[in-house]
Structure 1
Amino acid sequence: MKRNSIGGSVRGPVVQAGVVHGGVHLYHQAPSPPPPRQLFPVTAAWTDREADLERLDAALGERSSYASATVVITGVGGVGKSALAARWLRAQEEHTPDGQLYADLGGGRGVRPGAVLRRFLRALGLTRIDGDLDEVTSLWRSVTAGRRLALLLDNAADAALVRPLLPGGQGHLIAVTARRPLTDLVAEGARIHRLEPLAEAAATQLLARLVGEERVARERAALEELAGRCGHLPLALCVAASRLVALPDVSVATVAAHARTDHRIDVGTPSVTTTVHTTYQELPHRTARVYRLLGALPHIVIDVGTTAAACALAPEEAAWQLRALADVRLLESQGEHPGGGACFRLHDEVRPHAKRCVAEDENEASMTEAARRWLDWLLLTFTRAENLLTPAHQPMDRDVEYPSSQPFPFDDEEGAMRWLESHQSDLEAGVRAAETRGWDSLVWQLVHSAWPLFHRTRPLELWLDLHYRGLTAAGRCRHRGAQREMLTTLAIGLRGAGRYTEAAERASDALRLAREDGDARCEAQALHELGVCHHAQHEGQLASAVLEEAITIRERLGYRRGVGLSHLTLGLVHLEAGRAGQAIGHLTFARTELSQVPDVFDTARATAWLGRAWARGGDFEKATGLLEEALGEFRALRSARWQARALHMLGCTAEEQHQPERAQQLFTQALEIASTVSPKDAEHIREGLRRITPHKPGQQTEGTSPPTSPEGETW
């Protein structure tokens, strides 16, 4: 959708043209996703906090016109920080028309800002997000600069985690919740708002609303006593109200009398812990055990699959037990999981209690079994996604002690990808848990099974961290095949991060092991990786030698896609060296081979680069036709980054034909896309615009090709 000059909107295909060279091509564009609305709903029993809301509104009014409003809501656990933040941001929807985003920062427990930003960017419609944390942060700021968003950054541990998540531009509303004030954010213009427990009257009123006015009408004094024993904290009040609802024949006075501190479980905020422990003691045996075992797991998404696996339950019973725990407020509902199904979490004030209970009421064997069952289920499910999404990926061992009989949570590629993205944090938690317990085979197998996640979403920080862990674990296992796999995929991640020297070292290590072990497939892959690294470092002669060797081995193995990819890279080596004829030969072969596999995306890449090779050879008509064909394929594939690259290549081709106006149009279109998907590509395109702007009539320009080894080119 584009806005016209008087503020209206134009929908459907749009052509903006000065001089048109060739035909006009219209491609169907997938509709933009609706603005995200990720904030959890506000309870219908909302009580009081009017003064707090007024103070937050005042902070909004005090912001400068060139800035965003950031508020840090701080206070003890269970005081209602998250609920207040959601309530406030929901009331400001007219000021944030482009969406509301939510992230649980986990109190500092292993949450990576890059993972949060990638999740935010996907919610805003980006499908492929490349680069390291700095690049993803730049992309986030570019994408958000022209929007007005609401962000709830929940449960932050420190300012360092919050800063990369702050959006670009002005007009955004950011609410951060934290146990401590995070005064370091004051320098960013943040206001600190300390939230206190509810007043006595409001706490009593909240209990009455939750339980029902009729039931408590004659027990006002007991209700006030119960509210006091809950410390007037909303979390404790909600748990106590849930107990009263679950015990319709028990008086408020009886429940209040039992709400006394048990110093044996004195963790977290005492009034919350006391209420939680009393509720726990009244749970049915099986429900109490599910609660305990969930507390033994890392800080992860809790869903039916996780619960069924860890607690050895049928999915139907797991779903029932989760709902039972949510009904008494020992679990918090997180709504519908992006990967499908309901999901929950243990509140930060509840989790320490669950951990204490599992330590006291379970033995080490049962806790170990629960952890292993969960990890085995995670491994099997990641492997199922791997088989669906990357069937050509090298199959490896899967050491599973507890095979699961529950159905997988997806049955097609789209569902598998959604599940992988929504369980990325579980993967990291699982690898670390397996590492802690000394289950080295599980460490590298989990990393290996997650290849589609790394390959398609490219979370580089996570990729490198987990692969180094996987490589170390494979070494401890003395599993040579696993070491080779970890080395080659680690090399791909390193070159994606631009660390070509390290990538070449890891590829060389893989090559040595492959030759020692007689593994021709891995030998060819390692040679290909070395070739890509040499090409990226402009070492054309070395690149050609190892790529030719890789092609020979891959042809012998009958690995057609690999042959095509190595020819594609070899074509780029010749193109960079100015050998257009040789480049055309390799790229034509790569295009044919990849189209017959078939590999639609890489065929389109080969087509685009073949267009550039023909342009360098002087046949601009053929070059333009190939580049327009590739552009159409990238649009059909919804690859925004490669749409920008194809437009950039068309712009360079127009520039070489001394058509600066057309080149400027194409560069501008390319920049509009690239600025929202790839800061590196955007800078290359700006270089093209700087070359031709301003342009004087009669002045000729000397075209410069786009780089033949952009970051991630041969993935």
Structure 2
Amino acid sequence: MEFGLLGAVEVRDRGESVEIGHVRQRSVLVALLMEEGRPVPVDRLLDRVWGERAPLRARETLYGYVSKLRKLLELDIERSPAGYHLTVDPAQVDLFRFRAFVRDRDFDAALGLWRGQALDGLESPWFDALRESLHAERVAAELDRNDVALADGRHAALLPSLRQLAGERQLDERLAAQLMLALHRSGNDAEALRHYEIVRHRLADELGVDPSKPLQDMHQRILNGSVEERAAGPRQLPAPHPWFTGRTGELAALGSAGTVVITAIGGTGGIGKTALALHWAHRHLAEFPDGQLYVNLRGFDPSAGPTPPETVLREFLEALGEETIPAGLDARAARYRSVVAGRRMLVLLDNARSTEQVVPLLPGSDATVLVTSRLKLAGLVAAHGARSVSLDVLNPADAREFLVARLGAERVAAEPEVVADLVSWCGGLPLALSIVAARAAMEPDFPLAAFAGELREQPLDALDAGEIGTNLRTVFSWSVAALSEEAARAFGLLGTVGTADVSLAAAAALLDRAVARARMVLRELENAHLVHQHVPGRYRMHDLVGLYAADLPADAGTRLADFYAATARAAALAQEPHKPLPEHESGHTLVFESNAAVMAWFDAEHACLVTEQRQALERGAFDVAWMIGRTLNNYHLRRGRTFDDVEAWLAALRAAEAMGEESKQATAHMCLGADYVELGQSALGHQHFERSLELFARNDDPVAHGAAHRSIAWAAEFEGDLEKALEHSVLGLEKFRVAGSEVREAESLNEVGWRYACLGRYAEARTFCEEAMLLNTKLGHVEGIAATLDSLAHIARHDDRHADAITHYGEALALYRELDNSAELAKVLEHLGDVHAEAGEDERAREHRERALELYREQGRDAEAAALAARI
């Protein structure tokens, strides 16, 4: 079965066209396909298919369409609490094949898939926007193909199509530069220069602008006979802000790349630092032929600390093509300086917290660096020769031009005095101007005087005194006053959230509304530019908006904390139903149908959970703090996030101590002991183990006591004391048998067998592991089965039963993928690679080892990564 979206929507079965029904039924199919297997909530499907023109009983109609698609195409369209989802192989969908070909730089194959206008015949606002986005992808691929062809010297063959495209897209400056280059290389400089003049006049007449710097540079290089090509480097700059205006003096102060080493652009939040930096950078792109690096350093993120330079250096080195990233800040900084040396590059470090955060990211004398920060960063100026360019508010003329760019010259010119008042009240702050302009743009038929009249009702004394923060309060209060009562209440409640963003489900819990209703309320806030849906289903506020909202009176109660605690509990139980957890109630608890859904939720919500745990501890909600720390444990293990696990358990331990619950304290000590041993802090780890055993012994809980022995056994093995590891494994097994805990018994049987294998006693090892497999299988304990398969594979390998070893490892891999346990997946991949290597199957061995190495690096497991890299 093949699905065609790059033209009229079609389905083919073994090459034969399949009837898929009328336009709305085709729309449902495409809306599901576009999510690539992710669930689509019913409300979102309705919005995509009909927009605001949904018929009566639209849900029943939708259900009918889904049912017909299932029957017509024999598709497995599943429904869950998260919505409908359709999983197909990406290779079956021409759009996904197109994107894969683009990623592989096979542009001819990619563009050959297009049959006309994408999604031809589908009509709704969502499909219109999607069609426009897909068209932009096609144009980008065409331009990239042209670059590749020109780099390969195929300018003569490319000329006819370039001429045709230039006629169709007469204002596309990148295309114009490509045509000029092809003409130049074909010996036709005169036509190239004539085309430049045509484009220059057209840009001036239609848009009132000059050609871009890259196009001007191409013109000048043809005149000078100095055209040259350079290898492409990273291109990480975000798009420039579409309504950037003014800042002539600041742009001049920034100068050019040839003279600027570092520029610290200071100014308060919302003043337009990033907009200025990006505008300057895009105007000077041609001066950085070796690439541009960009990072948001999150220096003033209210929910988390600044991004560590060591993390940024890893990302930069990977973007620069480095395959092996050294450990440690100094080593990474040195490698970074070496790689960048001699390259003409731009490095944009956005939202820096301090000079200390920036200094390791300075590449040397060859690259240009732009730094934005709310602080002056005097250390950069004093010690590193940075030029400081501080931003003030926009002058009245530039502020008016901003409104012209946003609202149109005709509308602004019709009410000059009102516009002057709006500019004055906004105090020239770009963020305030954006809010005013957005409100006016949402009501295009209203005179601007109507908005000025609403704003006039608010006191402007503080604005007259030049207090920008107070001016923002005035503008924000005006925006909030225009909201419905429900949306205004929601805005105040969102101000109580201490996280960087919030999911739709969490917002629904906070507002105590159904998800569909919460989405509508958030959409009203989005339209007022008070929140931003930065990725589908997740919302955040600009930091100044958030500060304003936080000052509003709002009683959020414990709804959000209860949502996180109860949903984290449900997620943990879905992963490990055999591990009991105390009850925690919430009317908005999510339900999880699979391990993949659990891991996806923890991935998305990890930062929010950590923040909520910290806040719960601070306000004395110790049950929430404990629950979040406990439920994150298995997730951290599966993702290999040991440092995060330590922080979560330390907070949980403080909560358990505050509650006076010794069993919970013992569990925290036990898990901290294992974490600290893994991190190389054995002495501290064993202190926690000893305290754990002491507390467990007081309440005579054999299951808990057995768990402590298991952890000590793991730590002993990690430290190389296999005899001690076996001893505590056996003690743990005995405790679980006494307690009648079959799941724990099955896990311990495998661990005893594994430690016998580590000691070279393979016959005994196999006996215990086969008993473990029988019990795990009886219980349906998938994680236990996967771990036991890994042990049996190891035993088979050392018994010279290579076929059995490969089979067992393969089965373990499948189960760990099902569980989304990337930590164990990496280890099994490495072991499987070793077995293939021993069998002389070098290609397969390298494939598995390289994937394991990739996972180790993603998880920050530097020691394992280094050891494996040395062997590959």
Taking structure 2 as the reference length, the TM-score comes to 0.59
Task: Find the partner of 1:382 among 551, 568, 588.
Answer: 568
Match of 1:355 in 2: 550
Over 3 Å counting, the alpha-carbon distance change for 1:601 and 1:466 in structure 2 is: closer
> What SS class does the counterpart of residue 495 from structure 2 fall into?
helix
2:243 matches 1:45: yes
Over 3 Å counting, the alpha-carbon distance change for 1:683 and 1:209 in structure 2 is: closer
Take 1:265 and 1:596, find their aligned partners in 2: how far apart are those partners? 76
Task: Find the partner of 1:239 among 435, 452, 456.
Answer: 435
2:507 matches 1:307: yes
Take 2:762 and 2:538, find their aligned partners in 1: how far apart are those partners? 56
Q: CA deviation at 1:136?
A: 12
Match of 1:66 in 2: none
Task: Find the partner of 2:809 among 625, 630, 638.
Answer: 630
Which deviates further from its counterpart, 457-466 or 267-276?
267-276
Take 1:599 and 1:473, find their aligned partners in 2: how far apart are those partners? 31
Over 3 Å counting, the alpha-carbon distance change for 1:97 and 1:587 in structure 2 is: farther
**Counterpart amino acid of residue 223 in structure 1:** V
Task: Find the partner of 1:441 among 620, 623, 628.
Answer: 623
Task: Find the partner of 1:111 among 288, 305, 310.
Answer: 305
Over 3 Å counting, the alpha-carbon distance change for 1:613 and 1:99 in structure 2 is: farther
Task: Find the partner of 2:671 among 489, 508, 519.
Answer: 489
User: 1:552-631 alignment to 2 at 5 Å?
Assistant: 552-590=734-772, 593-594=775-776, 597-598=779-780, 603-613=785-795, 616=798, 619-620=799-800, 622-623=801-802, 625-627=804-806, 629-630=808-809
Deviation track 1:203-229 (CA, whole Å, cap 9, x = no partner) reads 212123333433321322442343243
Over 3 Å counting, the alpha-carbon distance change for 1:154 and 1:460 in structure 2 is: farther
Over 3 Å counting, the alpha-carbon distance change for 1:156 and 1:168 in structure 2 is: closer
Which deviates further from its counterpart, 452-461 or 538-547?
452-461
Q: Is the 8 A contact 1:594 1:600 kept in 2?
A: yes
Take 2:394 and 2:106, find their aligned partners in 1: how far apart are those partners? 47
User: 1:217-366 alignment to 2 at 5 Å?
Assistant: 217-245=413-441, 248-249=446-447, 251=449, 254=453, 260-262=460-462, 269-329=469-529, 331-337=530-536, 341-345=537-541, 347-358=542-553
Match of 1:696 in 2: none
2:258 matches 1:75: no
Instruction: Calculate percent identity across the aligned residue pairs.
Output: 21
Over 3 Å counting, the alpha-carbon distance change for 1:425 and 1:655 in structure 2 is: closer
Take 2:612 and 2:502, find their aligned partners in 1: how far apart are those partners? 13
Take 1:116 and 1:469, find their aligned partners in 2: how far apart are those partners? 25
Match of 2:702 in 1: 520
Q: Which structure's relative contact order is higher, taking Cα pairs within 8 Å and 6+ residues apart?
A: 1
Take 1:606 and 1:324, find their aligned partners in 2: how far apart are those partners? 53
Q: CA deviation at 1:170?
A: 14
Match of 1:502 in 2: 684
> What SS class does the counterpart of residue 296 from structure 1 fall into?
coil
Take 1:105 and 1:46, find their aligned partners in 2: how far apart are those partners? 24
Deviation track 1:137-173 (CA, whole Å, cap 9, x = no partner) reads 9999999x99999998754433556689x69999999
Over 3 Å counting, the alpha-carbon distance change for 1:498 and 1:336 in structure 2 is: same
> What SS class does the counterpart of residue 706 from structure 2 fall into?
helix
Take 1:441 and 1:635, find their aligned partners in 2: how far apart are those partners? 36
Q: Is the 8 A contact 1:650 1:666 kept in 2?
A: no
Deviation track 1:436-472 (CA, whole Å, cap 9, x = no partner) reads 2222222212322334432333433332223222112
**Counterpart amino acid of residue 203 in structure 1:** A
Q: Is the 8 A contact 1:100 1:151 kept in 2?
A: yes
Which deviates further from its counterpart, 384-393 or 641-650?
641-650
Over 3 Å counting, the alpha-carbon distance change for 1:474 and 1:160 in structure 2 is: farther
Deviation track 1:317-372 (CA, whole Å, cap 9, x = no partner) reads 4333323333333x2414224xxx24132x222233223332xxxxxxx63xx141
Q: Is the 8 A contact 1:607 1:627 kept in 2?
A: no
Over 3 Å counting, the alpha-carbon distance change for 1:637 and 1:311 in structure 2 is: closer
**Counterpart amino acid of residue 476 in structure 2:** V
Q: Is the 8 A contact 1:225 1:256 kept in 2?
A: no
Which deviates further from its counterpart, 496-505 or 87-96?
87-96
Over 3 Å counting, the alpha-carbon distance change for 1:292 and 1:162 in structure 2 is: farther
Take 1:562 and 1:411, find their aligned partners in 2: how far apart are those partners? 24
**Counterpart amino acid of residue 158 in structure 1:** S
Take 2:691 and 2:441, find their aligned partners in 1: how far apart are those partners? 64
- The structure with the largest alpha-carbon Rg is 2
Deviation track 1:383-425 (CA, whole Å, cap 9, x = no partner) reads 2222323323322232x4xx32x47386544333222222222
Which deviates further from its counterpart, 82-91 or 318-327?
82-91
Which deviates further from its counterpart, 213-222 or 543-552?
213-222
User: 1:383-422 alignment to 2 at 5 Å?
Assistant: 383-398=569-584, 400=585, 403-404=586-587, 406=588, 408=590, 412-422=594-604
User: 1:75-154 alignment to 2 at 5 Å?
Assistant: 75-84=267-276, 104=298, 106-107=300-301, 109-111=303-305, 113=307
Match of 1:130 in 2: none
Aligned residues: 622
Q: CA deviation at 1:667?
A: 10
Over 3 Å counting, the alpha-carbon distance change for 1:651 and 1:411 in structure 2 is: closer
> What SS class does the counterpart of residue 551 from structure 2 fall into?
helix
Take 1:647 and 1:315, find their aligned partners in 2: how far apart are those partners? 40
Over 3 Å counting, the alpha-carbon distance change for 1:603 and 1:320 in structure 2 is: closer
**Counterpart amino acid of residue 375 in structure 2:** R
Over 3 Å counting, the alpha-carbon distance change for 1:647 and 1:322 in structure 2 is: closer
Match of 1:208 in 2: 404
Q: Is the 8 A contact 2:776 2:785 kept in 1?
A: yes
Task: Find the partner of 1:550 among 732, 750, 758.
Answer: 732
**Counterpart amino acid of residue 110 in structure 1:** A
Over 3 Å counting, the alpha-carbon distance change for 1:410 and 1:215 in structure 2 is: farther
Deviation track 1:590-632 (CA, whole Å, cap 9, x = no partner) reads 455545554556545544454444555xx43x14640464157
Take 1:287 and 1:492, find their aligned partners in 2: how far apart are those partners? 47
Take 2:249 and 2:591, find their aligned partners in 1: how far apart are those partners? 45
- Computed over aligned residues only, the root mean square deviation of the Cα atoms, in angstroms, reads 5.3
**Counterpart amino acid of residue 301 in structure 2:** G
Gaps of 5+ in 1: 2-6, 11-33, 64-68, 126-132, 359-365, 690-715
Gaps of 5+ in 2: 1-96, 98-103, 108-140, 142-233, 320-325
Q: CA deviation at 1:237?
A: 0.5
